[in-house]
Amino acid sequence: MEPAPRRLRATPRERAASSLQAALYLAYPLVIYLGYARLAARSLAALLLGLYALSLVLRLRGSAADLWRALRPHLPLACLIGLSIALGDRRLLLFLPMLAGLYVLAAFAWSLRSGPPMIERFARAIEHDLPPFTLGYCRKVTVLWCVFLALHALAVGALALFAPLAWWTLYTGLVFYLLLGALLVGETLVRKLWFRGYGRGLADQVLARLFPAERTANGRRSLAYRGRWPR
């Protein structure tokens, strides 16, 4: 029996769930900042829990095992919001970005032990024929992400405990995303210049003209692997 073809496109329901979760995460610092002044602790937490539950309900489908796999990663966040409702403590809601960061950190760190490293998995999703000489680099970048996520969790926790709400909001709503973008852009640029493995995009073509692949050993190796340089 031939395996069923894999569904590549998300359904409208899945796209709606992903969009709602993304919007909730991006707007979360602002919602907390405004809610602190206008809503009681339990009302604010109940609002967040309702929106979060709605985004999860849109994702639920399949067998009981599928449902559990979909819900399990979100249980700590839901429990923290529930604890805020039970205790009437709004400050607990400030720790949600830290908890989310620690979850991602655990996934990245576990991939270093169980293999393959998380960055290698992402790279193979984009480039199935990943050059073997890039695997060590993928592992180092995974370690870099672990350090970044750990520092992020520490920053959120420290701001939640010791800083004014405005500082927490500024970091979680703006500064973190600037740092995240700088890390993504910086790592991409370092990787391109180190391996000189350019694609067909405009930015790659500009880099290829400024930093030709054939001028470095890594660049010649990248070209050889793709059959554009004599081995």
Domain spans of the chain, in order of start: 12-195
Query: What would the pLDDT profile of 129-142 be if each residue is shown by its tens digit?
Result: 788 888 999 999 99
Q: What is the pLDDT of residues 192-202, one digit of tens each?
A: 889 888 878 88
Lowest-confidence region among 11-15, 44-48, 84-88, 171-175: 11-15
List pLDDT tens digits, range 60-71: 666 666 666 666
Q: Is the pLDDT of residue 52 over 60?
A: yes
Query: Is the N-terminal amide bond of 116 cis, ω within 30° of 0?
Result: yes
Which residues have a Cβ under 8 Å from the Cβ of 30 and sit 6 or more positions away? 169, 173
User: Could you tell me which of 188, 198, 197, 187 has the C-alpha nearest to residue 218?
Assistant: 197
CA-closest candidate to residue 42, choices 98, 100, 92, 99: 92
User: What long-range pairs does 186-189 form, CB within 8 A, spacing at least 24?
Assistant: 187/141, 187/144
The residue type of 190 is: V
d(CA 111, CA 121): 9
Poorest-confidence range of 28-37, 110-119, 164-173? 28-37
Residues 6+ apart with CB under 8 A from 104: 149
The one-letter amino acid code at 201 reads G
The Cα 94–Cα 28 span in angstroms is 10
User: Is residue 168 over pLDDT 80?
Assistant: yes
pLDDT (0 to 100) of residue 139: 95
Say if CB 213 and CB 197 are below 8 A apart.
yes
What's the Cα-to-Cα distance from 129 to each of 67, 153, 191, 208, 223, rounded to whole Å?
33, 34, 17, 21, 14
Any idea of the CA torsion for 157, 161, 165, 167, to the nearest 10 degrees?
-60
Token code pair at residue 9: 């496109």
Higher pLDDT, 165 or 69: 165
CB within 8 Å of 16: residues ≥ 6 apart: 58
Cα(37)–Cα(35) distance, rounded to whole angstroms? Answer: 5
The span from the CA of 161 to the CA of 56, in Å, is 29
Task: At 197, list the tokens.
Answer: 């493995």
